[in-house]
Amino acid sequence: MSRVGKKPVPVPSGVTATVDGQMVKMKGSKGELSFLVPDEVSVALENGAVTVTPRDQSKTARAKWGLSRAQVANLVQGVSNGFEKRLEINGVGYKAAVAGKVLKLSLGYSHDIDYEIPAGITITTPKPTEVVVAGIDKQKVGQTAAEIREYRGPEPYKGKGVKYSDEFIFRKEGKKK
């Protein structure tokens, strides 16, 4: 039994949920999202909550049960509060700035990196060494933050590079004489 899948997803006030067959749609103050639930799982809207149940006890149905419930919960949180990832930039001369629909990154290369901001995502730089990626789609926010981090991931000797704000970098000791 899925511990995640058993719990119904409560729909808070200010969010309207509609279930049309296998399609779940959420509409809130931040926007509108939808998710197509896999065929192995059935979904229903009852008593102001969305419940997800497997159609049978096969391994794939039980695996997609928890996944589908988590996806529906992410829709609810996305349209009501939104998602946010914070990135920190460490290194001498490393900085970021937003210019229109482009994030300009100076990460120690011979050239600046221009990252095109995807639709549905807002990127802000409160400080030159801090980048905040926000949006209503959890997958898009995480993917965008991962792509920015990929340009210069943190290295273990001096900790230089782009890292998540809650990430811990295991430091290594340098060469010894």
pLDDT for 49-78, tens place per residue? 999 999 998 889 988 999 999 999 999 999
- In the chain, where the domains are located: 3-80, 83-164
Distance CA 57, CA 142 (A): 32
* % of the chain at pLDDT higher than 90: 77
Q: Which two tokens stand for residue 174?
A: 């340098």
| Positive or negative torsion for Cα 70, 79, 83, 37 | positive
The CATH class for the domain spanning 83-164 reads alpha beta
CATH superfamily for domain 3-80? Ribosomal protein L6 (3.90.930.12)
**3-80 and 83-164 share one CATH topology?**
yes
pLDDT digits (tens, 9 = 90+) for 125-165: 999 999 999 999 999 999 999 999 999 999 999 989 999 99
pLDDT for the residue 3: 79
| Alpha carbon 109 to its chain's center | 28
Q: Which two tokens stand for residue 172?
A: 């290594």
Instruction: Please tell me which residue, 165 or 1, carries the higher pLDDT value.
Output: 165
59-80 vs 138-150: helix axis angle to the nearest 10? 90
Confidence of residue 6 (pLDDT cuts 50, 70, 90): confident
- Is the distance from CB of 171 to CB of 156 less than 8 angstroms? yes
The whole-model pTM stands at 0.87
